[in-house]
Structure 1
Amino acid sequence: MTQPLPTRRLGALEVSALGLGCMAMTDFYGTTDPGTAVRTVREAVDLGVTLLDTADVYGPHTGEELLGKAVAGIREQVTVATKFGLRRGPGNTWLGIDGSPEYARACCDASLRRLGVDRIDLYYLHRVDPAVPIEETAGALGELVAAGKIGHIGLSEASADTVRRAHATHPVTAVQSEYSLWSRDVEGGLLATLRELGIGFVAYSPLGRGFLTGTLTSPDAFADGDYRRTSPRFQPQNFTANLHLIAPLRDLADRHGVTPAQLALAWLLSRGDDIVPIPGTRRSRHLRENTAVTRLDLTPAELTAIGEAVPPEAAGARYPSHRMAELDG
């Protein structure tokens, strides 16, 4: 490890202030190269990143297998986080949500095998199952904690009410949701609830699936198999509208001599020391840019200016309608 990053607490769990999202390493953003992905994870750890985030649905399953290869030999240096609850079948078909205790137990055992670890440090319910009381799911996860198979439990895209109910059953360490300059829904009450309960927050897609990097110029540039080809915010009309939305961010970045991505991450880190963004990347240059943000010195006035430069009024929903329906609350 070349230089430790600052650390933050997710409940009782201490991790680097910036994690690494591993979804794009095997899925959703076009062609991937496993060897390059493993090297990227290793470099992230060398740069001080300790929180590595994946899910059984990525691939499916190949995301966990890849992360298992990447952490072999450095297991003690990292916090491994994965998720269960979204079911995916052959031919990229989505089979719905399953938060049943039986499924939780089966998925945990399978994830342990694929990751090649004897304990998952942070295990999330990927989406809340409306057919299963959250108390039942949280209870099953608590049993897995007691069995030593997982260290801490988390929820992804859960409402404040659901978090309260789960936390009353078994302590929740972290909640994960999309949060960035152009996705600020969690500020409507979820963050206040988490802080009341002492639960940390993990921000996925902190760079707006690449849009807040300021490097995307056309929706036609996405490769076949890239999720953004079907994402509402990246459809031609919305894409054009959102380009105008982030133009001020590029101007601010130029004035500070940094990248728009660095300003976007710096703003997110400033929203609270209980927030850990997990930007995903497959490129060494972007890894280094991202981790350098933890050393970026911006005044409160400058951070306020960043938040005001990109109003949270992105054109298009975060997901297609059928996927939006899967979000809790």
Structure 2
Amino acid sequence: MTVRTQLGNSDLYINPIGLGTNAVGGHNLYPNLDEEVGKDLVRTAIKNDINFLDTAFIYGPERSEELVGQVVKELGNREDVVIATKGAHKFNGDDVVIDNSPAFLTKAVEASLTRLQTDYIDLYYIHFPDEDTPKDEAVGALQELKDVGKIRAIGVSNFSIDQLKEANKNGLIDVYQGEYNLLNREAENEILPYCKENNISFIPYFPLASGLLAGKYTKDMTFDDLRKDMPHFQGRQFEHNLDKVEQIREIADDKGVDVPHIVLAWYLTQPAINALIPGAKNPDQVINNLKTLDVTLTEHDIERIDGIFKKQA
């Protein structure tokens, strides 16, 4: 039986396990990406009932949207796929600025439609907040695009709680995307409760903390990509985090699954989180992520995991 969950108050129903595609054409994020492998990730996801694809203008830039669009067109099942993308970044020469103005967002949506080779985007996020645009005005521009059928649902990403409240002044937000994982639980303070109260789906990015929570790293490993600047990967903190992951491995071994399945399953027990977008670097990882849906965590399991990674006061 196909598992589907509703995104916020929208008419979008998705597999709770989606695919984050920043490694599909995200050449500015990861070195030495193979675009054919990236396209195969998307094919594998769709062919294995993962119908939720998350991309963004800035992945590449532009290239991730183009590759996702190519594969969806190639497979010919656009109506069965829920595509989420994001915009806010604007290039001024070599400089990148964030722009939430209605005029820019309208242009950004049109450009994404072209790259994705589609006439509608299922979920469009404002990727980052700017400093000047009233957030309800920015969302109002997306609502106008929704009214004419160019997008189906509205999201915001990386907004503070105050920005989220302003953006949702008229109850138009369906989805919030923000960083959240067992190593960074700040969203539990205000944003997750607000999302639950307002029926906004919260979709965490970096759910496996760039692989640290996947149980595949050892203490002697070093990194040359975006991970090298992340606090979780530094010195003794890195070692301490790996020790926590080993405690999760005990639970995984007891259930006959892998560490990431336990971590991802734990998120799906949390208020307002009903979908995840783990990334992948090869097709086997895409399929493997789906084993999360076979995991049943007891209340004891949920509390034990919470205790291992107890958020700091």
Question: Paired residue for 1:85?
Answer: 88
- Do 2:176 and 2:203's aligned partners in 1 also have CA atoms closer than 8 Å? yes
Any unmatched runs of 5+ in structure 2?
none
Alpha-carbon distance in structure 2 between the residues aligned to 1:289 and 1:312: 28
Q: TM-score, normalised by structure 1?
A: 0.87
Give runs of aligned pairs for residues 115-134 of structure 1, distance below 5 A: 115-134=116-135
Q: Secondary structure at the match of 1:168?
A: coil
Distance in 1, Cα, partners of 2:233 & 2:307: 22
Shift, 1:200, TM fit: 1.2
| Mapped contact 1:16–1:50 kept (Cα < 8 A) | yes
Aligned counterpart, 1:323: none
> 2:218, 2:97 → 1: CA distance?
34
Distance 1:273 1:48 in 2: 23
Q: TM-score, normalized by length of structure 2?
A: 0.91
| CA spacing shift, 1:6–1:304, aligned 2, 3 Å | farther
Bigger mean CA offset, 299-308 vs 205-214: 299-308
Within a 5 Å distance, the mapping from 1:64-213 to structure 2 comes to 64-72=65-73, 73-87=76-90, 95-169=96-170, 171-213=172-214
The 1:51/1:294 distance shift into structure 2, 3 A limit, reads: same
Which residue of 2 is the match for residue 311 of structure 1? Answer: 310
Q: CA deviation at 1:212?
A: 0.2
Paired residue secondary structure (2:23): helix
Deviation at 1:230, TM superposition (A): 2.2
Q: Distance in 1 between matches of 2:98 and 2:144?
A: 21
Q: Hey, which bits of structure 1, 4+ residues long, moved more than 3 A?
A: 87-90, 218-221
Cα gap change, 1:178/1:100 in structure 2, threshold over 3 Å: closer, same or farther?
A: same
Instruction: Tell me the equivalent position of 2:300.
Output: 301
Change (3 A) 1:269 1:88: farther
Q: Shift of the alpha carbon at 1:153?
A: 0.9
- Counterpart of 1:229 in structure 2: which amino acid? K
Q: CA deviation at 1:237?
A: 4.1
RMSD, aligned CA: 2.0
Counterpart amino acid of residue 204 in structure 1: Y
Deviation by residue 1:157-213 (Cα, 9 ceiling, x = unmatched): 123332222222461110001122112111112122112222111111111110001
Letter aligned with residue 86 of structure 1:
H
- CA–CA distance in 1 between the matches of 2:96 and 2:221? 29
Amino acid aligned to 1:252 = I
- Tell me the CA shift for residue 94 of structure 1: 5.4
Q: Residues 13-54 of structure 1: CA distance to partner in whole angstroms, max 9, x if unpaired? A: 321111111012222132211111111111111222111100
Question: Which residue in the other structure is 1:230 paired with?
Answer: 229
CA distance in 1, matches of 2:42, 2:177: 20
1:220 positional shift: 4.8
| Separation (CA, whole Å) in 2 of partners of 1:163 and 1:115 | 27
1:254 is matched with: 253
Which SS does the other structure have where 1:172 is aligned? coil
Q: Give the Å deviation of 1:273.
A: 6.3
Distance across 2 between alignment mates of 1:238 and 1:274: 27
Offset at residue 65 of structure 1 (A): 0.3
Shift of 1:263: 0.6
Moved more, 73-82 or 188-197: 188-197
The answer on 1:42 being equivalent to 2:43 is yes
Secondary structure (helix, strand or coil) at the match of 1:25 reads: coil
Aligned length: 307
Q: 1:262 to 1:76 in 2, by over 3 A?
A: same
The answer to whether the 8 Å contact 2:200/2:272 transfers is no
Say if 1:57 and 1:87, in contact at 8 Å, map to a contact too: no
Aligned mates of 2:115, 2:227 — CA distance in 1? 28
Distance across 2 between alignment mates of 1:110 and 1:259:
40
Q: What is the CA-CA distance between 1:9 and the residue it aligns to?
A: 3.3
Give the residue type in structure 2 aligned to 1:165. Answer: E
CA distance in structure 1 between the aligned counterparts of 2:260 and 2:82, rounded to whole angstroms: 24
Match of 1:284 in 2: 283
Partner of 2:7: 9
Q: State, as a whole percentage, how many aligned pairs show the same letter.
A: 35
- SS of the residue corresponding to residue 202 of structure 1 reads strand
5+ residue gaps, structure 1: 314-329
